[in-house]
Amino acid sequence: MTFRPPSPRSLGTGVTAKPSRGQRRSRWFERLMALLALVNLGLVSFDLSYIPWRDVYLKLLPELTTWYGEQFKGIEPHRFTRHYLDTVDQLQDQVAQTGLTSAAAQAILVDLQQQSAAMIAENPFQLANKSGNLERIKINLRDRLGLESATDSFTQFWSYDHLSRAGFGQEMAFFNSRVRPLMETNFFRHIAVHGGFVDRFWRLDLVFNLVFALEMLARSLYLHRRYKNFGRRDVLLWRWYDLLLIIPFSGLRLPWLALSRLIPVTVRLNQANLVDLNPMQTRLNHFLLSQVAVELTEVVILRLIDQLQALIRDGTLSQTLLIQGEGRRYIDLNGVNELVAISQRLINLTVYDVLPEVKPDLDRLVQQTVREAFGRAPGYQGFRQLPGVGGVPDQIAQQVITQLSSSLYTGLRSALEGAGARQDDRYQALLQAFTDSFQRQLQQKGDLQEIEGLLVAWLEEIKLNYVRRLAAADLDRLVEERYQIYNATQTRRRS
């Protein structure tokens, strides 16, 4: 049996006690570890988003982004684009010193034209998956020069005629604002010995793995010393989510699985009282109940009714209820013939409960029937006209019928009570004969098919009229009642 040590939250007594020094120290330790797990999750998220969002990070934190790429991702500026931008800087310096008409400036312009043609032909952006940036550069140059060819656009852009006519300063401002930022996003990434890109983040992540592994080991030793029945396996089962903080996903080249650490981080923040997830849990439970419970209940009930209809249609239910015999394969759980027991129960219910209530109405019905029969008899009306006779026949008939019904009812009760006390074999034989005759008559006269059809139709009406109403139930009221009951039970436990 697994022992789980009690948590401080589960030891509510209804009175807020001042935490001891050891409890305060433990609380601060839990908060520190929770914040450390949060930092680790933040680093993992940053590492996974570094390559896709590197352009954004360069705009926000250029120095940190460049340093991180060099240290952990094996990234360095691409030689081609770096040399291209350095050449543009040389052109600006040369023009500032000797002007655009100098031979040195003209030589740099020719070099830039050649580099532009090579850039379009070789696509140095492909390795960094930045080919889209090269396309944007070509679009910007074509729109600037009004030409269809990107190569011709670069050639004309880096020409003396265009720069002198459009203005060297204005064109350099265009290049630095619309072209240079796109070229600066290009990079070269080294290849590791395993064939993939260099990724040294596992070294940083390993530090956190070791810290949380030591924490789990210390927690295991502490709990084992304090609770003798609490072993290391129980620690793993009790705080299984901490394993997600120990597994080196980055070293195993499964970096995206490291996002599963969101589970232990969330749990730790909640346990350390740094965030309150109870309202979120309440809303989540309400959502699950509202969206799943009704549909699931409706499906289950409809499935049960459909199965019962199928049993009626294929005759399985009628065979189970009506076919008896030793050769029939049927599992009897209690050694009782349920049909005989039901028949006996119906008879007792009729004699002891139903007949006493309907006996006055039954007597009046029989009396009315007898009067009508006498009234149709020849000479009866003339007989009643005789002096001294009058209503004597009606009184005599009423007394006879009342006495007869009382005698029959008393006889039935005496027979049942005597049979019940003596367990008369004749009485049991009568019940068995009644059951057998009832089954036989149902099968011979074809009433069974009609009854089965009525049952199937009745079940279909139940589905349409009652089961479908479950979707319209007041779920908010049910959920509120459920939480009221829960709060009441928790208050009673604390008291």
Interval 67-71 mean pLDDT: 93
Strands (E), 85-211: 187-189
What is residue 14's three-state secondary structure?
Answer: coil
Contact 214, 242 (CB under 8 A): no
Contact 153, 143 (CB under 8 A): no
Model confidence pLDDT, tens digit, residues 261-286: 999 999 899 888 888 877 777 777 66
H or E stretch including 72? helix 62-72
More confident residue, 151 or 5: 151
Contact 205, 40 (CB under 8 A): yes
Q: Which of 176, 186, 181, 187 is nearest to 88 (CA)?
A: 176
> What's the confidence (pLDDT) of residue 425?
63
Question: What is the radius of gyration, based on Cα positions, of the chain?
Answer: 47
Predicted TM-score (pTM) of the model is 0.57
pLDDT higher than 50, residue 219: yes
Q: What is the mean pLDDT of the chain?
A: 77
Q: Among 234-248, 398-412, 431-445, where is mean pLDDT lowest?
A: 431-445
pLDDT higher than 90, residue 252: no
360 Cβ contact list (under 8 Å, min separation 6): none
